[in-house]
Structure 1
């Protein structure tokens, strides 16, 4: 009888161990799914928090003539109400600026030359409707 009780105990232990193994395997699978879902949520949240690039971007390239430059809106939106801060430019600066709206791809040619004793112009300062603070656009 003792042998039968011992074998019954062993059998019950094996059944309990097998059940525990099945539960552990299912828990492991579920925790992996939860971890994957958590990673996807974190990636989506990070993407949502990343600010989009500015829709108006500026680029200055050398122009066709001596001391000439071309300012171009290389963004994907129009810049409205564009103003230039000519107080930060060298003494020989000419900007024929009648337009205040720059569509994407639109350009404006200007001339800038430093006189003896002046620093070389390294940037042009401008602002527009979406960006009311003065913004420096680097010169080439």
Structure 2
């Protein structure tokens, strides 16, 4: 049914549960997984009257972001490897995670996006504007929401 499944992950417990469920789905369908970790782009410090502690250069920020992404993706990759599910990891620096998710799904020819959701409803969910909701609203590729 599905051949390539995009699985965005941020390394949280919620996201890791989604990764495990996506691996089971891939295993059952003989599909491959594309793991995606999106980090925000570097924001240069603004001029302030009060000294700002721990100001990083763009290079330092990007090196740290790559380290975090490598750890998150390695942990998820290990789960896929244990289940013998083919898996590729992708890291993106983007200020709009939902746009990165849609772009990578398209670029990697994925036929499903598998996303974990916090499950908040009503005004709280609306105000938070989850990335899952944004992907559902703007994407033409099927999206499976795991709660």
Q: TM-score, normalised by structure 2?
A: 0.26
The structure whose RCO (Cα within 8 Å, separation 6+) is larger is 2
Relative to total residues, which structure has the larger helix share, 1 or 2? 2
Q: Which has the larger radius of gyration?
A: 1
Give the TM-score of the pair, scaled to structure 1.
0.27
Higher strand proportion (structure 1 or 2): 1
